[in-house]
Amino acid sequence: MTDKPQSPLAGSKLGYTVDYPQQYDPSLLFPVDRQINRSQLHINGWNWAGFDLWYAYELSWLNARGLPQVALGRFLLPADSPCIIESKSLKLYLNSFNMSRFADREEVQSRLQQDLSAVAQAPVQVELLAVDTDLSQQPGTLAGALCLDSLPVEIDTFAVAPELLQLRDSGTESSLQVREVLYSHLLRSNCPVTGQPDWGSLVIDYEGPALDHEAVLRYLVSFRTHTEFHEHCVERIFTDILALGEFRRLLVRAHYTRRGGLDINPCRSLSPELPDMGRWTRQ
Protein backbone atom coordinates (compact mmCIF):
# COMPACT_ATOMS: atom_id res chain seq x y z
CA MET A 1 0.00 0.00 0.00
CA THR A 2 1.41 3.38 -1.04
CA ASP A 3 1.51 6.02 1.66
CA LYS A 4 -0.49 9.14 0.81
CA PRO A 5 1.95 12.04 0.22
CA GLN A 6 2.05 14.67 2.90
CA SER A 7 0.08 17.82 2.09
CA PRO A 8 2.39 20.57 0.81
CA LEU A 9 0.50 22.94 3.13
CA ALA A 10 1.22 21.01 6.32
CA GLY A 11 2.44 23.35 9.02
CA SER A 12 1.48 26.52 7.20
CA LYS A 13 -0.85 29.25 8.46
CA LEU A 14 -2.66 29.42 5.14
CA GLY A 15 -6.43 29.24 5.14
CA TYR A 16 -6.79 31.16 8.40
CA THR A 17 -7.86 34.74 9.05
CA VAL A 18 -4.77 36.94 8.98
CA ASP A 19 -3.86 40.57 9.56
CA TYR A 20 -2.77 42.27 6.38
CA PRO A 21 0.86 43.43 6.62
CA GLN A 22 1.68 47.11 6.89
CA GLN A 23 5.38 46.91 5.96
CA TYR A 24 7.40 45.07 3.35
CA ASP A 25 7.89 41.46 4.47
CA PRO A 26 9.32 38.77 2.15
CA SER A 27 8.92 36.13 4.88
CA LEU A 28 5.20 36.00 3.99
CA LEU A 29 5.93 34.04 0.80
CA PHE A 30 5.14 30.32 1.12
CA PRO A 31 6.76 27.73 -1.20
CA VAL A 32 5.05 24.52 -2.32
CA ASP A 33 7.34 21.69 -3.47
CA ARG A 34 6.41 20.70 -7.03
CA GLN A 35 7.68 17.17 -6.49
CA ILE A 36 4.94 16.32 -4.00
CA ASN A 37 2.35 16.55 -6.76
CA ARG A 38 4.58 15.17 -9.52
CA SER A 39 5.21 11.98 -7.56
CA GLN A 40 1.54 11.10 -8.22
CA LEU A 41 1.65 11.65 -12.00
CA HIS A 42 2.35 9.30 -14.92
CA ILE A 43 5.66 10.96 -15.79
CA ASN A 44 7.78 7.93 -16.79
CA GLY A 45 10.93 9.94 -17.34
CA TRP A 46 9.40 12.56 -19.66
CA ASN A 47 11.02 15.93 -19.75
CA TRP A 48 8.89 18.99 -20.36
CA ALA A 49 9.42 22.66 -20.88
CA GLY A 50 7.11 25.33 -19.61
CA PHE A 51 6.37 28.14 -17.23
CA ASP A 52 3.80 29.63 -14.89
CA LEU A 53 2.84 33.14 -15.94
CA TRP A 54 1.33 35.31 -13.19
CA TYR A 55 -0.32 38.72 -13.47
CA ALA A 56 -0.66 40.81 -10.31
CA TYR A 57 -3.23 43.59 -10.58
CA GLU A 58 -3.07 44.93 -7.01
CA LEU A 59 0.53 46.09 -6.79
CA SER A 60 1.27 49.40 -5.10
CA TRP A 61 3.97 51.07 -2.99
CA LEU A 62 5.03 54.51 -1.80
CA ASN A 63 7.77 56.51 -3.46
CA ALA A 64 10.42 58.37 -1.44
CA ARG A 65 7.98 61.27 -0.90
CA GLY A 66 5.17 59.01 0.28
CA LEU A 67 3.16 59.28 -2.95
CA PRO A 68 1.44 55.96 -3.85
CA GLN A 69 2.65 54.26 -7.03
CA VAL A 70 0.83 51.50 -8.93
CA ALA A 71 1.88 48.93 -11.52
CA LEU A 72 0.77 45.71 -13.14
CA GLY A 73 3.12 42.87 -12.19
CA ARG A 74 4.06 40.14 -14.65
CA PHE A 75 5.97 37.21 -13.10
CA LEU A 76 7.31 34.22 -15.05
CA LEU A 77 8.30 31.13 -13.03
CA PRO A 78 10.11 28.35 -14.93
CA ALA A 79 8.41 24.95 -14.79
CA ASP A 80 11.64 23.35 -13.60
CA SER A 81 11.80 25.49 -10.47
CA PRO A 82 11.69 23.23 -7.39
CA CYS A 83 8.81 25.21 -5.88
CA ILE A 84 5.70 27.12 -6.82
CA ILE A 85 4.52 30.05 -4.70
CA GLU A 86 1.16 29.70 -2.96
CA SER A 87 -1.11 32.45 -4.26
CA LYS A 88 -2.53 33.73 -0.96
CA SER A 89 0.97 34.10 0.42
CA LEU A 90 1.91 36.04 -2.72
CA LYS A 91 -1.09 38.32 -2.24
CA LEU A 92 -0.09 38.99 1.38
CA TYR A 93 3.50 39.62 0.31
CA LEU A 94 2.43 42.08 -2.40
CA ASN A 95 0.21 43.87 0.12
CA SER A 96 3.26 44.34 2.33
CA PHE A 97 4.55 46.82 -0.28
CA ASN A 98 1.51 49.09 0.09
CA MET A 99 2.74 51.27 2.97
CA SER A 100 6.46 50.82 2.37
CA ARG A 101 8.68 53.45 0.74
CA PHE A 102 11.06 52.62 -2.08
CA ALA A 103 13.53 54.85 -3.88
CA ASP A 104 12.18 54.08 -7.33
CA ARG A 105 10.40 51.54 -9.55
CA GLU A 106 13.66 49.73 -10.22
CA GLU A 107 14.13 49.01 -6.51
CA VAL A 108 10.64 47.49 -6.30
CA GLN A 109 11.29 45.31 -9.34
CA SER A 110 14.65 44.20 -7.93
CA ARG A 111 13.11 43.27 -4.56
CA LEU A 112 10.33 41.30 -6.28
CA GLN A 113 12.77 39.40 -8.48
CA GLN A 114 15.09 38.62 -5.59
CA ASP A 115 12.34 37.46 -3.22
CA LEU A 116 10.31 35.41 -5.72
CA SER A 117 13.43 33.72 -7.08
CA ALA A 118 14.57 32.82 -3.56
CA VAL A 119 11.26 31.11 -2.75
CA ALA A 120 10.89 29.37 -6.13
CA GLN A 121 14.59 28.38 -5.91
CA ALA A 122 15.06 29.41 -9.55
CA PRO A 123 15.29 32.69 -11.49
CA VAL A 124 11.90 34.39 -11.78
CA GLN A 125 11.40 37.03 -14.46
CA VAL A 126 9.67 40.16 -13.17
CA GLU A 127 8.22 43.01 -15.21
CA LEU A 128 6.36 46.04 -13.89
CA LEU A 129 3.95 47.28 -16.54
CA ALA A 130 1.95 50.48 -16.70
CA VAL A 131 -1.57 49.94 -15.39
CA ASP A 132 -3.06 51.06 -18.72
CA THR A 133 -1.14 48.37 -20.65
CA ASP A 134 -3.54 46.57 -23.00
CA LEU A 135 -3.53 42.84 -22.22
CA SER A 136 -6.80 42.01 -23.93
CA GLN A 137 -5.45 40.26 -27.05
CA GLN A 138 -6.83 36.75 -27.61
CA PRO A 139 -4.25 33.97 -27.28
CA GLY A 140 -2.29 33.32 -30.44
CA THR A 141 -2.07 30.13 -32.53
CA LEU A 142 -5.83 29.49 -32.27
CA ALA A 143 -6.62 29.95 -35.98
CA GLY A 144 -8.63 26.90 -37.00
CA ALA A 145 -8.84 25.66 -33.41
CA LEU A 146 -11.88 23.71 -32.28
CA CYS A 147 -13.89 24.72 -29.21
CA LEU A 148 -15.20 21.58 -27.51
CA ASP A 149 -17.88 23.24 -25.40
CA SER A 150 -20.85 22.72 -27.73
CA LEU A 151 -20.35 18.98 -28.22
CA PRO A 152 -23.54 17.01 -27.36
CA VAL A 153 -22.08 14.99 -24.49
CA GLU A 154 -23.72 13.47 -21.43
CA ILE A 155 -21.76 14.22 -18.25
CA ASP A 156 -22.01 12.11 -15.11
CA THR A 157 -18.47 12.32 -13.68
CA PHE A 158 -17.39 15.40 -11.72
CA ALA A 159 -14.34 13.95 -9.95
CA VAL A 160 -11.14 13.86 -11.97
CA ALA A 161 -11.05 10.66 -14.04
CA PRO A 162 -8.15 10.12 -16.48
CA GLU A 163 -9.75 6.89 -17.66
CA LEU A 164 -12.28 9.06 -19.53
CA LEU A 165 -9.59 10.05 -22.04
CA GLN A 166 -9.59 8.05 -25.27
CA LEU A 167 -8.04 8.12 -28.70
CA ARG A 168 -10.29 8.46 -31.74
CA ASP A 169 -11.11 5.16 -33.47
CA SER A 170 -9.50 5.29 -36.91
CA GLY A 171 -11.11 2.07 -38.12
CA THR A 172 -7.68 0.65 -38.92
CA GLU A 173 -4.96 -1.14 -37.03
CA SER A 174 -2.76 1.98 -36.95
CA SER A 175 -3.96 4.95 -34.96
CA LEU A 176 -5.11 8.07 -36.78
CA GLN A 177 -2.44 10.81 -36.72
CA VAL A 178 -3.51 14.46 -36.63
CA ARG A 179 -2.25 17.97 -35.93
CA GLU A 180 -4.91 20.07 -34.20
CA VAL A 181 -5.68 22.60 -31.48
CA LEU A 182 -8.56 22.05 -29.07
CA TYR A 183 -9.84 24.39 -26.38
CA SER A 184 -12.52 24.67 -23.72
CA HIS A 185 -13.75 27.39 -21.38
CA LEU A 186 -15.31 24.82 -19.01
CA LEU A 187 -12.33 24.04 -16.80
CA ARG A 188 -13.06 24.45 -13.10
CA SER A 189 -11.00 23.24 -10.16
CA ASN A 190 -10.85 24.24 -6.51
CA CYS A 191 -8.25 25.96 -4.36
CA PRO A 192 -6.61 23.66 -1.76
CA VAL A 193 -6.32 26.60 0.68
CA THR A 194 -9.69 28.37 0.52
CA GLY A 195 -11.89 25.81 -1.26
CA GLN A 196 -12.99 28.54 -3.67
CA PRO A 197 -13.53 27.64 -7.33
CA ASP A 198 -10.87 28.45 -9.90
CA TRP A 199 -12.24 29.05 -13.40
CA GLY A 200 -10.14 28.68 -16.52
CA SER A 201 -9.87 28.17 -20.27
CA LEU A 202 -7.66 25.31 -21.45
CA VAL A 203 -5.84 24.88 -24.77
CA ILE A 204 -4.47 21.56 -26.06
CA ASP A 205 -2.16 21.96 -29.07
CA TYR A 206 -0.84 18.59 -30.29
CA GLU A 207 0.39 16.39 -33.10
CA GLY A 208 0.11 12.63 -32.81
CA PRO A 209 -2.61 10.03 -32.23
CA ALA A 210 -6.02 11.67 -32.58
CA LEU A 211 -7.81 12.47 -29.34
CA ASP A 212 -11.50 11.67 -29.04
CA HIS A 213 -13.03 15.14 -28.67
CA GLU A 214 -16.02 14.12 -26.57
CA ALA A 215 -13.76 12.11 -24.28
CA VAL A 216 -11.48 15.12 -23.81
CA LEU A 217 -14.45 17.32 -22.88
CA ARG A 218 -15.77 14.79 -20.36
CA TYR A 219 -12.30 14.54 -18.85
CA LEU A 220 -11.90 18.32 -18.49
CA VAL A 221 -15.33 18.62 -16.86
CA SER A 222 -14.30 15.89 -14.39
CA PHE A 223 -12.02 18.47 -12.72
CA ARG A 224 -15.11 20.36 -11.52
CA THR A 225 -14.86 19.14 -7.92
CA HIS A 226 -11.12 18.45 -7.99
CA THR A 227 -8.96 20.25 -5.42
CA GLU A 228 -5.49 21.14 -6.66
CA PHE A 229 -3.34 24.15 -7.49
CA HIS A 230 -3.56 25.58 -11.03
CA GLU A 231 -0.05 24.44 -11.91
CA HIS A 232 -0.73 20.91 -10.69
CA CYS A 233 -3.99 20.64 -12.67
CA VAL A 234 -2.21 21.54 -15.91
CA GLU A 235 0.59 19.05 -15.26
CA ARG A 236 -1.99 16.36 -14.51
CA ILE A 237 -3.82 17.05 -17.78
CA PHE A 238 -0.53 17.14 -19.71
CA THR A 239 0.74 13.82 -18.36
CA ASP A 240 -2.65 12.07 -18.62
CA ILE A 241 -2.83 12.96 -22.33
CA LEU A 242 0.80 12.04 -22.89
CA ALA A 243 0.16 8.60 -21.39
CA LEU A 244 -2.21 7.78 -24.28
CA GLY A 245 0.49 7.39 -26.93
CA GLU A 246 3.50 8.76 -28.77
CA PHE A 247 3.00 12.47 -29.42
CA ARG A 248 5.37 14.45 -31.62
CA ARG A 249 3.98 17.67 -30.17
CA LEU A 250 1.95 18.38 -27.06
CA LEU A 251 1.36 21.74 -25.45
CA VAL A 252 -1.21 22.29 -22.70
CA ARG A 253 -1.88 25.72 -21.31
CA ALA A 254 -4.52 27.15 -18.99
CA HIS A 255 -5.73 30.73 -18.72
CA TYR A 256 -7.29 31.05 -15.27
CA THR A 257 -9.46 34.02 -14.37
CA ARG A 258 -8.14 36.33 -11.70
CA ARG A 259 -9.01 35.90 -8.02
CA GLY A 260 -7.70 38.10 -5.25
CA GLY A 261 -6.01 40.37 -7.77
CA LEU A 262 -3.96 37.53 -9.28
CA ASP A 263 -4.28 35.19 -12.23
CA ILE A 264 -2.09 32.19 -13.00
CA ASN A 265 -1.45 30.84 -16.48
CA PRO A 266 0.54 27.56 -16.51
CA CYS A 267 1.96 26.16 -19.75
CA ARG A 268 3.60 22.75 -20.27
CA SER A 269 5.10 21.50 -23.52
CA LEU A 270 7.23 18.75 -25.03
CA SER A 271 9.01 21.43 -27.05
CA PRO A 272 11.25 24.19 -25.69
CA GLU A 273 9.52 26.57 -28.14
CA LEU A 274 6.85 28.15 -25.97
CA PRO A 275 3.92 30.33 -27.05
CA ASP A 276 2.96 33.93 -26.53
CA MET A 277 0.16 33.29 -24.05
CA GLY A 278 -2.12 36.22 -24.88
CA ARG A 279 -5.23 36.90 -22.79
CA TRP A 280 -8.84 35.71 -22.85
CA THR A 281 -11.51 38.40 -22.46
CA ARG A 282 -12.80 37.08 -19.12
CA GLN A 283 -9.37 37.24 -17.50
The residues assigned a catalytic role are: 191, 198
Q: Where are the alpha helices (DSSP H) in the chain?
A: 34-38, 87-95, 105-120, 213-221, 230-242
Cβ-proximal residues to 256 (8 Å cutoff; 6+ apart), any chain: 198, 199, 200, 230, 263, 264, 265, 283
Contact between 84 and 38 (Cβ < 8 Å): no
Q: Which of 219, 230, 237 is nearest to 265 (CA)?
A: 230
Three-class SS of residue 109?
helix
Rounded to 5 degrees, what are φ and ψ at 38? Answer: -65, -25
Residue 159, CB-side half-sphere exposure with 13 Å CA sphere: 0
Number of H helices, E strands in the chain: 5, 10
2-35 b/e with 16+ CB inside 10 Å = b? eeeeeebbeebebeeeeeebeebeeebbbbbebe
